[in-house]
Structures are given as structure tokens and as C-alpha cells.
Amino acid sequence: MHSWNNTNVPDFILLGLADSAETQLGLFLLLHAIHLVMVLGNAGMILLICLDPRLQTPIYIFPPYLSFLDLSYSSVISPRSLQDLVSSTNSISFLGCFTQMYFLIFIATECFLLSSMAYDRYVAICNPLCYPVLMSPRLCHSLLVGSYVPGLVHSTVNVIFISRLHFCNSNAIHHFFCDLSPVLALSCTDTTDVELIIFMCAGFNLVLSLITISPSCVSILLTVLKINSIAGKRKAFCTCASHLLGVTTFYSTMLFTYLRPKQSYALGKDQVASVFHTSVIPMLNPLIYSLRNREVKKTVIGICRKEMAPCN
């Protein structure tokens, strides 16, 4: 750690997740396994849905884009974190740091994407007969564009404002990647306005998406409870339960991490939450949203049987 007499910071130092060699090795093995499962799960889901003609229906349009999003921001952060756990040089360039931050903020896209998926589930449960008409391919692609474009704008605006700050004191980031709060803490200029902009943007995205998701979830639950048949109720609940689980996991982590007063920032707790939303949630999403689906499981089993079948 060193200081500069000017504001041109060539690099930052990531202090990482642990100090002892034993702990670092254990974390490396754990995070490496999580990252490997995440890559295989999301990449496999993209290929599976895109290549199988039976899955070329509106209900399967959103999962590949969610998997692509998870791969994007997790692959920018996790490999670098794994490298730092086994390397003595933990410096990251100014450009590399803000690239990580850009993709991290891009996670806002997932808020809008989950809102679109909530509407998709609402139509499938509450208006199943009208589903093919209401969820046309054109509407699905419009919802995808409406999810990704605000996320790109959100990331660009936030990173531009943060990059204009002056960094002239310590260059040590008390985190394992370039997260917002640790980077802002290094600035030697007043960050009040930037923090307000970040808080307002994050709050607007989260609140808007929650306002969109909540009525859909409530309508789905009410519709499921009105079903008389136990088998029908179970089928409908299984259809929406995975999405409700994914939404609850994602939003609880985001609210804990980014919508709290700066004074409540705690390094240990925030690092655990950051590991969860940069590694664990992207690993779980393919299971939650796709592999629990009967048609997807049939396709996976069919592919596995073809691969294991003896050659004639």
C-alpha cells in the first residue's frame, strides 16, 4: 500500500477474502468448484435451449438471457478472485477495476429481467389459454430489450460518475473485487453527490422491479389457492415456485448489500453477501429456473442417453 501526490491512480490493491494461507487454499477450492458449476450450468443451459427445437417456445426465451447475464458479471469477478487467492500480487489496474464495477452494476439488468419473467409466469398460471397469444415472440423480445437497455444505461451512468472522482490517498481496497462502497471509501474528494446518485438509481431499479413483480406473485398465489384439484394445485405451484425462490434469494441479497446506510458497512458480512450474489446465485439460477422444468429435464436425460448409448 502506498500513496500518491497526484490523482492519477495507476492501480489498486485488492486485499482479498482471507490472510492465512490455509484459509486462502480452502476458499480457492470452494470458489473454484462453485465457479466451475456456474459456468457449466449456465453455458449448458444456453446451448440446450438454443439448440433443441422442442424448447423454441416463449416460455424458454428468458432463461438463456438470464444465464448469459450471470456468466457475464460472474466471469469478470470470480476468475480474478481465484487468481488473487493463490497469487502474491493482488494489484488490479484502474481500467480493470472499473470494468469489474461496470459489470457488477450491470446486475441491475437482472431486476428488470426477473420482472419480465414474473409477468411470463403470471400469464402462464392466471391465463394459460391465452398464453400463446399474450406472450408472443415479439412481446418477449421487447421485454428482453426493455430489460437490457436500462441495465446498460444504469451501469454507464454510475461508472462515469465514479470514474470522475479523485483517488490520491490509499490504493488498498478492503474487498476481493472492486465493489462500490470500498472504492468510494478511497476517494479523497467528497462523494456525497455520487453516493446519492448511486442510491437513487439502485433504489429506483429495485423498487420499480419489485412493484412489477409483487402483483404478479400475489395473483399467482391467489390463483393457485383457488384450484380445487390437488394435482392441479401442485403443478401450478411447481411452475411458479422456482421463480418465487429465485426472486426472494436475489432481492434479499441485493437489498442487504446495496440499500443500506454507509455507516452500517461491515467488511466480513458484506464480503459474504458479495460472494453469494457474484458466485452462488449465478450457480443456482440454472437449477432454479430451468433444470426444475420437466421439459428441460427430459431434454437433458435424452442427450445423456444418446451419449451413453453404444455405437452400432
Question: Where do the structural domains in the chain lie, given as residue ranges?
Answer: 11-308
In the DSSP assignment, the letter for residue 11 is: E
Cell numbers that stand for 172 in this block: 488498498
From the candidate CATH numbers 2.60.40.1170, 3.40.50.300, 1.10.1740.10, 1.20.1070.10, the one assigned to the domain spanning 11-308: 1.20.1070.10
Cell numbers found for residue 91: 494489484
pLDDT at 3 (0 to 100) = 43
Q: For position 142, what pLDDT does the model report?
A: 92
| pLDDT score at 4 | 40
Task: Find how far residue 198's CA is from the centre of its chain.
Answer: 18
Give whole-number Cα distances, 92 to 6, 32, 71, 176, 182, in Å: 19, 20, 21, 11, 14
pTM: 0.82
Residue 108: the pLDDT is: 84
pLDDT at 6: 41
**Sign of the alpha-carbon torsion through 185, 107, 77, 19:** positive
Q: Which stretches in the chain have pLDDT values below 70? A: 1-9, 169, 232-233, 235-243, 257-269, 290-312
* Rounded Cα distance, 46 and 253, in Å: 25
Q: What is the pLDDT of residue 312?
A: 47
